[in-house]
Amino acid sequence: MRRLFIAGNWKLNKNINEAERFASELKSALIDINTVDIAVAPTVLALPTVCKKLQHTNIEVSAQNIHSHASGAFTGEIAAEMIRAAGATYTIIGHSERRAIFGEKDEFINQKVHAAFRSGLLPILCVGETLEQREAGHASSIVITQLKKGLNGLSPDQLSCVTIAYEPVWAIGTGKTASPEQAQDMHAQIRSWLYASFPAFVGDQLRIQYGGSVKPHNAHALLSKPDIDGALIGGASLKVEAFVSIIETAASL
Ligand code: PEP
């Protein structure tokens, strides 16, 4: 019912030329994949070039971040409307690196989610607990609180178009993956909360990606779980072979 959605977050990697070359290679390697949704998130500098390179292909482009305002005195920021005009389809919002390093709070993240919809971008909202929070038994309450605040004020139609990326902070870039059972368990709790809080079509349609050291060797076990609807991938999305292998695994399911 929900198509798997695999997105690569390039973070602060690949200059314009490298990004363009990488996009060309992906385009050729993924030309026959038509059963999985795919996106890549280059730096904002490379985004227009990558959008042009991937126009009319099966690979969409995502921003890694947006600002909540459309214009004004916000030095160094980029508006959702500008990202949309460059040709992107999605934007990541509330990545744990933005929360931890740049101090982004749930209220600001919620404003960005609204800004994404205002501009026509689809948000990929990242949530996840730290190791300390998990060990204290607070993982579910942290994640559900991030979701309640991050998604506040959206209509059911908008909610059904959101992608939630569950990314346990302790599994990002560390090589430690949540086991498929741990990930499925949290995804099922998120899904139950969606069914309990909104009309049923939201729970049916909203996709929940898993993120945190997804690699070719663990992709099959994770993506086979019923409530894992895709993956948000950092490190493994920087190598054509690894990223393509994960997408081929998704397409085989
Ligand atoms: C991420 O940055 O969203 C991520 C999941 O990174 P990695 O795959 O490298 O853990």
Quote the ligand 1 centre to 233 CA distance (angstroms): 5
Question: Using a 6 Å cutoff on CB, does residue 147 contact ligand 1?
Answer: no
Measured CA distances, 169 to 68, 165, 193 (Å): 24, 12, 21
Residue nearest to atom 2 of ligand 1 (CA): 234
Q: What is the mean pLDDT of residues 37-45?
A: 98
Of the CA atoms within 13 Å of residue 102, those in its CB half-sphere come to 13
Number of H helices, E strands in the chain: 12, 8
Q: How far apart are CA 114 and CA 151, in angstroms?
A: 9
DSSP per position, 141-188: HHHHHHHHHHTTT--HHHHHH-EEEE--GGGSSSSPPPPHHHHHHHHH
Q: How far apart are CA 153 and CA 111, in angstroms?
A: 10
Instruction: Please state, rounded to an integer, the average pLDDT across all residues of the chain.
Output: 97
pLDDT at position 218: 96
- The separation between the first and the last C-alpha atoms of the chain, rounded to the nearest angstrom, is 13
Residue from 95, 104, 129, 187 carrying the catalytic annotation: 95
Out of 214, 217, 218, mutate this one to test ligand 1's pocket (max ligand atoms within 8 Å of CB): namely: 214
Q: What is the mean pLDDT of residues 7-19?
A: 98
Provide the percentage of residues in the chain whose pLDDT is more than 70.
100
Rg of the chain's alpha carbons, rounded to an integer?
17
Q: What is the mean pLDDT of residues 225-248?
A: 97
Quote the ligand 1 centre to 67 CA distance (angstroms): 22
Provide the percentage of residues in the chain whose pLDDT is more than 90.
96
pLDDT at position 177: 83
| 248 token code pair | 């081929």
Q: How far apart are CA 238 and CA 240, in angstroms?
A: 7
pLDDT at position 174: 82
Phi, psi of 164 (to 5 degrees): -95, 130
Asked if the model's pLDDT at residue 155 lies above 90, the reply is yes
Over the stretch 72-85, which tens digit does the pLDDT of each residue have? 999 999 999 999 99
Q: How far apart are CA 235 and CA 246, in angstroms?
A: 12
pLDDT at position 1: 81
pLDDT at position 178: 87
Asked if the model's pLDDT at residue 30 lies above 90, the reply is yes
Given pLDDT bands bounded at 50, 70 and 90, which one contains residue 122?
very high
Given pLDDT bands bounded at 50, 70 and 90, which one contains residue 175?
confident
| 72 token code pair | 């004004």
Buried/exposed 22-61: b ≥16 CB within 10 Å, e otherwise: bbeebeebbeebeebbbbbbbbbebbbbbbebbeeebbbb
Q: How far apart are CA 102 and CA 139, in angstroms?
A: 22
Given pLDDT bands bounded at 50, 70 and 90, which one contains residue 146?
very high
Residues paired with 8 in a beta bridge: 40, 233
Question: Using a 6 Å cutoff on CB, does residue 8 contact ligand 1?
Answer: no
The whole-model pTM stands at: 0.96
pLDDT at position 62: 98
Measured CA distances, 235 to 62, 167, 175 (Å): 16, 14, 10
Given pLDDT bands bounded at 50, 70 and 90, which one contains residue 238?
very high
pLDDT at position 140: 96
Given pLDDT bands bounded at 50, 70 and 90, which one contains residue 36?
very high
